[in-house]
Amino acid sequence: METVIDTGISMHKLCEKLFPICRSITGDGFRKSLAIIKNDVQLDDLQFFEVATGTQCFDWEVPEEWNIKDAYIITPDGNKICDFKVCNLHVVGYSTPINQKISLEMLQNHLYSLPNQPDAIPYITSCYQKRWGFCITEQQRATLKSGSYQVYIDSELTAGSLTYGELIIAGETEQEVFLSSYLCHPSMANNELSGPVVTAFLAKWLLSLPSRKYTYRIIIIPETIGSITYLSRHYKTMKENIIAGFNITCVGDDRAYSYLPSRTGDTLADQVAKHVLAHTHPEYVSYSFLDRGSDERQYCSSGIDLPVCSIMRTKYGCYPEYHTSLDDLELVTASGLLGSYRVLKKAIQCLEYNETLATAVLGEPQLGKRGLYPTIGTKEGEAKVQNMMNFLAYCDGVSSNLEIAEKIKVPLWELVDIINQLKAEQLLKSIH
Amino acid sequence: METVIDTGISMHKLCEKLFPICRSITGDGFRKSLAIIKNDVQLDDLQFFEVATGTQCFDWEVPEEWNIKDAYIITPDGNKICDFKVCNLHVVGYSTPINQKISLEMLQNHLYSLPNQPDAIPYITSCYQKRWGFCITEQQRATLKSGSYQVYIDSELTAGSLTYGELIIAGETEQEVFLSSYLCHPSMANNELSGPVVTAFLAKWLLSLPSRKYTYRIIIIPETIGSITYLSRHYKTMKENIIAGFNITCVGDDRAYSYLPSRTGDTLADQVAKHVLAHTHPEYVSYSFLDRGSDERQYCSSGIDLPVCSIMRTKYGCYPEYHTSLDDLELVTASGLLGSYRVLKKAIQCLEYNETLATAVLGEPQLGKRGLYPTIGTKEGEAKVQNMMNFLAYCDGVSSNLEIAEKIKVPLWELVDIINQLKAEQLLKSIH
Amino acid sequence: METVIDTGISMHKLCEKLFPICRSITGDGFRKSLAIIKNDVQLDDLQFFEVATGTQCFDWEVPEEWNIKDAYIITPDGNKICDFKVCNLHVVGYSTPINQKISLEMLQNHLYSLPNQPDAIPYITSCYQKRWGFCITEQQRATLKSGSYQVYIDSELTAGSLTYGELIIAGETEQEVFLSSYLCHPSMANNELSGPVVTAFLAKWLLSLPSRKYTYRIIIIPETIGSITYLSRHYKTMKENIIAGFNITCVGDDRAYSYLPSRTGDTLADQVAKHVLAHTHPEYVSYSFLDRGSDERQYCSSGIDLPVCSIMRTKYGCYPEYHTSLDDLELVTASGLLGSYRVLKKAIQCLEYNETLATAVLGEPQLGKRGLYPTIGTKEGEAKVQNMMNFLAYCDGVSSNLEIAEKIKVPLWELVDIINQLKAEQLLKSIH
């Protein structure tokens, strides 16, 4: 049986396997990566969907499919640089094909580098405007001499389709918990292989449970156009059924824990995220919805208004390696992935534990006759059953278990045994 | 005529008279104490009620009645120690009878002492589990030598009844103010003779008033089982009629003033308590409902939800002498009792003063023509009638006088003359 | 064409012209001042209204009209002091006529001076109680010797009328913005020539606009009795139509900006005032409604409840020169007046810009295909359109533009171009 620590190592291994593949918002790299996840994590019911180029999705259209075989630059000295096969970040995403000799001066207009991070290859894409380009370290760029450069990009932009994966895990009710992550980034680790990998392992854990109160809607998509496409097909059902959801991204490093709220900031997902982080990682960083930058942009847009927030390690845009070749598998660690996995698991457990109950008797129940209360009055006695008494006091048929946990300042998971004991004693009744 | 300072001295004297009596949640000690209060404070309408052992009260049952005549231990040297007649705290409350010789080793299992307070006899009870025991100072316990000890407890646990006192003082309306205190503790002063004694004197004052807007429901009960018993008989009427109530306990020492809220923290009782304490003792300690430990546990339980909070001096559990023989009549003083009496009286007066009025004219009334405004405009002039103008400005038919007092940052009692003047000038109208 | 800086100078010049006139709550000084404003600022539609002495207005009555030609005191040495023609503050407002020789001892009862400001003539009125008096510097008062003083006041209290000016500037809707200022103070500059002068120039600017969404109700009145009189005639219409209003007073010095809320503190006027001041003068002083002292006393009285607050420079009562001869045209400056004019103009513009819209598409609109989004993904790219994206995210058919501006922490005026662009792209729809 796999231990918890094994889970961290397994997730990191899966990241390693997926890392070299050149992914984009469409194309075979995405498909291949999704297939590896399905196979390695044994998510047999993970369905693949293809949405044809040109399909209208809300205000957007599915773009042409982009595939690339090779790309490089030959310097006047005959050296091959910006070799796609060495690092796929060297090519601007969605670059049109080219095979041409041009001057350094011309070439400079198509080069992207980061003066402040001279040893980093930046990650650049241009999905909605046709252009070509190469990304290069500032250090290497500085060495380029005048002369004629052979630029070669063997890519294809064709009518094809956008791919996404969807896994529905049935629960006892039609109400849904929603997990979303994205797989459209090429060789970067925290943003973004950590998200789909942790999501896949959460799916595996959910499948291993004997039962689930909620149905789980889990999707692995390309960012932005993927969530727009998916929403355009399912948003009515989603609005009806989803009680809470998490956008899972940047969950792999060992630094901060972070929370980015939904637009309103007060959904059940927000309540759960803040409850779990406050009790497990009270030093967590709390962002504003104004700091958003991932698929919550769609999930929380006005008219969609899904209860979706993000629990992350160091947030996208907030770590120096973000969107460069430095976001690699040393930045993302087994323990970093494992920490996120555990926190998200706890958040899901809180959702499963959460219900609205009422104390079934008037006044305090006599816990003593049920063996739940110390039989002799001492100074220390009361403290022992304080959580139980506090839970009963606030259990009024209106406050949810989660809200009670907040009020009585204990983590919800520490109340689970207490609630089960009280249920066994017929001291609680459900509210429907 | 008795002065206010006399009231403090009278209350302390009554505490002295009641102090030596061995009280418990049932039994003759409770009855005798209640009879002394009724007689000495001249509360002729204070009714005694007896509820038979075994009566079901919500989730509880009235326990057997406990009475005790004597108890002590004879040491191997022939000395009498833990003598009930010297201090009734020496016997664990509700101890079963015993008359037996036992070894020190065996005896130790039945002794209770406080290592951190070596000169204090702890207060211990065991109402809901049959056992016997003695309480002893840590100092004395340390001197006990091996040998055979004669333990003697001449107590009785019999079918009997639980006793409580109830005084209903009729007012102009059926709406009620509720005062509750408890008399079930043996020889301790702050917790708890201060509560029933201050309550009795408040009742005396209420009876001396020419009229009262509200009806007053005043009860002196045993803690916990008493409030459960009382609620089980009256909670429907109480829920209907009680607009505010106070659990009166720990009101005798000279140290802090404290406030412990109702469960919701926003009832009229809470508003009044905070208003009075903020204006009379702004340094007061504000507790959370999570710090509760007295009959508000029942009054504020879910489904009961009475608007009851506590105004105390140093709260139970928060002073070193609590539940020991050190909680004596030096800790409780005439001035300590008097301070609580005054604060609670002010809280009751605020309830009586509180009503919802509306300014009877549009715009500011012309106070000048009524002699209520300085006739010459000066820098200082306006300040003089500021409270009157502020009251009128906020008197909108929705805000109560108490809420207005809070908004304009003056104690309600400083507005009483102003309100009466404005009423006399027909500038205010009542809202029904 | 007049520049903005010219506006400051023009306002100061108008103050200079009005300064020497002796105004009171009634009388020819008020009429003459109002006529100068109408003429000099070219407010041709400013209507004058006369309300007869004795007219009942809510709880008040229009007082007798007061006019004065001359006043002075002749000292025993034959010197003329407290000469009304030198400074009209020397006479207590509404003084009854007198021409009599009296002793210094008698005279002292009719003299007003300020011991703490020995070189200031105080401003004193007695509109609602008949008396006479002179205001004098403490310095001069100290030099008065025993002897016989000739006191002479050539004033008249007669049945006449109270005057006010009203300008209605029609807009596209019947909903109104309300501006109120008062002109009843004699020779003082900040309190109060700044208010009516800035108000008149705001009216001029409003008239110069090609169109206005709202109708503007602008009144120049005597303080207190004027607002009561005006309300008694129009409050029903005003309650129905006014969406926001400002009481314009103390808007001329160069020191603080201040905000005094409406009674509830949360009206649209309050929202706008706080929004504008927070973004233009974040150091502004925020007062409580308890600090009020001008016509918001009437506008916000219970039963009237108009959404009116005040944006000021240094508030009445809060600067040392207040209500003395030191409140002069050095204290009030062109830049002081101009600053207030600009802030109030911005507040009015915010009201005009404010509306409730909804994003017309589901999900984020694709700004790229409309040329509103950078076509290449870079770290910096997103920041550029952040305000547009934020506006769209919060534009939910419920939040007003002003509320969105607050949420996304940008001044509303910086969103105007964005909103117009989005409207042109059909990305926003109106909510009715």
Least confident of A11-20, A32-41, B14-23, C2-11: C2-11
> Residue A59: which of C361, C395, C408 has the nearest Cβ?
C361
Whether pTM > 0.90 for this model: the answer is: yes
- DSSP assignment, residue C91? B
CA separation for the pair C63, C228 (Å, rounded)? 12
pLDDT at B380: 47
Name the average pLDDT for chain C.
Answer: 95
pLDDT at A15: 98
CA separation for the pair A375, A381 (Å, rounded)? 9
CA separation for the pair B31, B279 (Å, rounded)? 38
Q: Report pLDDT digits (tens) over C326-359.
A: 999 999 999 999 999 999 999 999 999 999 999 9
- As for the ipTM of the complex, it is 0.92
Question: Which residue from C minimizes the CA distance to A264?
Answer: C394
> Residue B298: which of A363, A368, A379 has the nearest Cβ?
A363
- SS3 track for chain B: CCCHHHHHHHHHHHHHHHCCCCCCCCCHHHHHHHHHHHHHCCCCCCEEEEEECCCEECCEECCCEEEEEEEEEECCCCCEECCCCCCHHHECECCCCEEEEEEHHHHHCCEECCCCCCCCCECCECCCCCCCCEECCHHHHHHCCCCEEEEEEEEEEECCEEEEEEEEECCCCCCEEEEEEECCCCCCCCCCCHHHHHHHHHHHHHHHCCCCCCEEEEEEECCCHHHHHHHHHHHHHHHHHEEEEEECCCCCCCCCCEEECCCCCCCHHHHHHHHHHHHHCCCCEECCHHHCCCCHHHHCCCCCCCCEEEEECCCCCCCCCCCECCCCCCCCCHHHHHHHHHHHHHHHHHHHHCCEEEECCCCCCCCHHHCCCCCCCCCCHHHHCHHHHHHHHHCEEEEEHHHHHHHCCCCHHHCHHHHHHHHHCCCEEECC
Q: Report pLDDT digits (tens) over C235-244.
A: 999 999 999 9
CA separation for the pair B86, B106 (Å, rounded)? 24
Does the structure show a pLDDT above 90 at C280? yes
Contacts of C375 in chain A (CB under 8 A): 126, 128-129, 131
Tell me phi and psi for residue C317, to 5 degrees: 80, -10
* Subunits adjacent to chain C (3 or more Cβ pairs under 8 Å): A, B
B302, A377: Cβ pair inside 8 Å?
no
CA separation for the pair B254, B332 (Å, rounded)? 7
A317, C392: Cβ pair inside 8 Å?
no
> Residue C302: which of B378, B393, B408 has the nearest Cβ?
B393
Residues C82, C72: contact at Cβ < 8 Å?
A: yes
Residue C403 region by backbone torsions, left for phi larger than 0, else alpha for psi between -120 and 50, else beta: alpha
Percentage with pLDDT > 90 across chain A: 92
Mean pLDDT of C175-196: 97
Does the structure show a pLDDT above 70 at C220? yes
CA separation for the pair A160, A54 (Å, rounded)? 9
Residues A251, A312: contact at Cβ < 8 Å?
A: yes
What is the per-residue DSSP string for A66-88? EEEEEEEEE-TTS-EES-TTT-G
Distance from CA of B128 to the nearest CA of A (A): 6
Q: Report pLDDT digits (tens) over C384-417.
A: 588 999 999 999 999 999 999 999 999 999 999 9
CA atoms lying within 13 Å on the CB side of residue C355 = 17
Contacts of A368 in chain B (CB under 8 A): 128-129
pLDDT in tens, chain B (432 residues): 456 679 999 999 999 999 999 999 999 999 999 999 999 999 999 999 999 999 999 999 999 999 999 999 999 999 999 999 999 999 999 999 999 999 999 999 999 999 999 999 999 998 888 999 999 999 999 999 999 999 999 999 999 999 999 999 999 999 999 999 999 999 999 999 999 999 999 999 999 999 999 999 999 999 999 999 999 999 999 999 999 999 999 999 999 999 999 999 999 999 999 999 999 999 999 999 999 999 999 999 999 999 999 999 999 999 999 999 999 999 999 999 999 999 999 999 999 999 999 999 999 999 888 988 776 655 444 655 889 999 999 999 999 999 999 999 999 999 999 999 999 999 999 986
Question: Which residue from A minimizes the CA distance to B292?
Answer: A390
Contacts of A111 in chain C (CB under 8 A): none
What lies within 8 Å, CB to CB, of C404 at 6+ separation is: C390, C391, C394, C395, C415
Does the structure show a pLDDT above 60 at A380? no
Does the structure show a pLDDT above 50 at A223? yes
The pair of structure tokens assigned to B1 is 């005529």
Work out whether strand A242-247 and strand A308-312 pair parallel, antiparallel, or are unpaired: parallel
pLDDT at C431: 84
Question: Which residue from C minimizes the CA distance to B407?
Answer: C290
Q: Report pLDDT digits (tens) over C242-277.
A: 999 999 999 999 999 999 999 999 999 999 999 999
C residues 259-298 lying closer than 8 A (beta carbon) to B: 263, 289-290, 292-293, 297-298
Residues C278, C285: contact at Cβ < 8 Å?
A: no
pLDDT at B48: 98
Interface with A, mutate which of C379, C387, C427, C428 (most A CBs under 10 A): C379
A367 CB within 8 Å of a chain B CB: no
CA separation for the pair C179, C344 (Å, rounded)? 10
Name the average pLDDT for chain B.
Answer: 95
Distance from CA of B40 to the nearest CA of A (A): 32
For residue C389, give the H/E element and its range.
helix C386-394
Does the structure show a pLDDT above 50 at A263? yes
pLDDT at B384: 52
Contacts of A404 in chain B (CB under 8 A): none
A301, C363: Cβ pair inside 8 Å?
yes
Mean pLDDT of A85-100: 96
What is the per-residue DSSP string for C233-281? HHHHHHHHHEEEEEE--S---SS--EEE--SSS-SHHHHHHHHHHHHH-
Length of chain B: 432
The pair of structure tokens assigned to A46 is 């993970």
- DSSP assignment, residue C95? P
B228, A363: Cβ pair inside 8 Å?
yes
Q: Report pLDDT digits (tens) over C25-61.
A: 999 999 999 999 999 999 999 999 999 999 999 999 9
Type of residue at A296 = E
Does the structure show a pLDDT above 50 at C380? no
pLDDT at C65: 97
A362, B301: Cβ pair inside 8 Å?
yes
C159 CB within 8 Å of a chain A CB: no
A115 CB within 8 Å of a chain C CB: no
B301, A393: Cβ pair inside 8 Å?
yes
> String of b and e for C312-351 (b: at least 16 CB within 10 Å)?
bbbbbebbebbbbbbbebebbbbebbbbbbebbbbbbbbb
Mean pLDDT of A64-86: 97
